[in-house]
Amino acid sequence: MRQKTLYYYRMHHDQLDRMCAEHPQILLLDLHSFSDEIVPDDRLCQDRRTPDICLGVDEQFTPERLASAAESILWANGFTTARNYPYSGSLVPGTVLSRRIHCDCASIMLEWNRRVYYDENDTPDADRIHHIQRIIRQIADACVTLN
């Protein structure tokens, strides 16, 4: 199983590196989900509820205007957010980090709490998922116009 996982990991990161080589500017929306039940205890603040969406930001690769635009759109849609809680950071391709390839890369992680797309029977809700897809498109469209 480990070999298979590493194969897909490397394949994914090789694709990211190729994209950076082919495009001088990249907006990377790093999408994940989490469940309150599996957040490690060392990442939880006892007096703080987990947000609907964790915005993972990186000091170097997440411009403030990108994080603010994403927050505004999420708030307008009724979601709670927190930056870098309970998870932090965002994916940045290795070729950008190592400066092997010059690429203007902006990255933000949108980590969705399962409770925003699961129904009361603990199953994914298609309508909620479609709503989230529309919001992600709004964020991408808004961020593209930030430059």
Which domains are present in the chain? 2-144 (3.40.630.40)
Digits of tens for pLDDT over the chain (147 positions)? 788 888 888 888 889 888 888 988 899 999 999 987 766 666 666 666 889 999 999 999 999 999 999 999 999 999 999 999 998 999 998 888 888 888 888 999 999 999 999 998 989 999 999 999 999 999 999 987 776
Largest CA distance in the chain: 48
Residues contacting residue 131 through CB under 8 Å, at least 6 positions apart: 77
Q: 């940045």: which residue's tokens?
A: 92
CA angle 46, 29, 127 (to 5 degrees): 80
Q: Which residues are bridge partners to 25 per DSSP?
A: 104
Q: How far apart are the first and last CA of the chain?
A: 42
